[in-house]
Amino acid sequence: MNVLIVGVGGQGTLLASRVLGQYAILRGQDCKLSEVHGMSQRGGSVVTHVRIGDKIHSPVIWEGGADVVLAFEALEALRVKHYLKSDGALLVNDEEILPMPCITGAAVYPENIKDTLKAAVKRTHFIKAQEMALAAGSEKATNVVMLGALCKILSFDYALMREAVVKSVPPKFMELNVKAFDIGFNAVNL
């Protein structure tokens, strides 16, 4: 299982990968994660690779090799669309964050990303994860809402994923995150 997580620096993509790693451990499977720290975190695109299986070699996913892309921002989903397998799934947080070239007018933020993606990828799901996280109690739980939805889309073991979330967040935010997870899980209809 190859999960590519993309977003904008500071969106909490790292926690999402940790939870998936925890899920792999709970299932007794091999797992590798890959992320890039440093320069790219200053509001730039961030990409995290998660691979789970019986024996994993490469920590990075290749173009055409992702089973699912978990995108925290729409433009970032479009940017990595070519990483998906032909039957891959795409889960996008329905949010647009302008990159600096679009803010200054040097480039234009693409219109109708949602339609483009839906036309290109059959299994595309957009969810308003940020709003749902707010409903659960805090915007910070956006990543966990996304994980709830991912759990449904990939038919992951619900109880184990929930446990992975609990194990990955500080105890005082457990209730909030479990709530966020369930909201995300129930937000997608297959």
Partner 1 sequence: MKDLMLTNKAIARGAYEAGVAVLSAYPGTPSTEIAENFAKLDGVYAEWAPNDKVAVEVALGAAVAGARSMACMKHVGLNVAADPLFTAAYTGVNAGFVLVVADDPGMHSSQNEQDSRYYAKSAHVPMLEPANAAEAKEFVKLAYELSEQFDVPVFLRETTRVAHSHGLVELEERIEKPLKNYVKDASKYVMMPANAIRRHVTVEARDNALQEYVNTMPINRAEYTNENELGIVCSGAVYEYVKEALPNANVFKIGTIHPIPVSAICEFSKHVKELYVVEELEPFVEDTLKANGIACKGKELFGLQGELSVRKIAEKFGVMAGAVVEPEKVPARPPVMCAGCPHRGVFYVLNKLKLTVNGDIGCYTLGAVPPLSSVDTCVCMGASVGMAHGFKKATKGESRNVAVIGDSTFLHSGVTGLINAVYNRSGITLIILDNSTTGMTGHQQHPATGKDLQGNPAPVVLLDELCKACGVKDLHIVDAYDVKAVEKAVKEATASEEVSVIIAQRACALLDKTKQPVVTVENCKNCGVCMRLGCPAIRKGANGIEIDPLQCRGCNVCVQVCPFGSIKKA
Nearer CB in complex with partner 1: 147/152: 147
Cβ(23)–Cβ(151) below 8 Å: no
Sort 44 into a burial class: Cβ within 10 Å, 0-12 / 13-18 / 19+: middle
**82 makes contact with partner 1 (CB under 8 A):** yes
**53 makes contact with partner 1 (CB under 8 A):** no
Interatomic CA distance for residues 12 and 6, integer angstroms? 10
**Binding pattern to partner 1, positions 86-125, x when CB under 8 A?**
x-----------xxxxxxxxxxxxx---------------
Task: Identify the H or E element spanning 52.
Answer: strand 45-53
The residue within the footprint of partner 1, chosen from 1, 12, 27, 34 (CB under 8 A), is 34
Question: How many CB atoms are closer than 10 A to CB 14?
Answer: 17
* Closest CB 189 distance from partner 1, rounded Å: 27
**43 makes contact with partner 1 (CB under 8 A):** yes
Question: How many CB atoms are closer than 10 A to CB 82?
Answer: 10
Where along the sequence are the contacts to partner 1 (CB under 8 A)?
A: 8-9, 18, 21-22, 24-25, 30-45, 57-60, 62-65, 75-76, 78-82, 84-86, 98-110
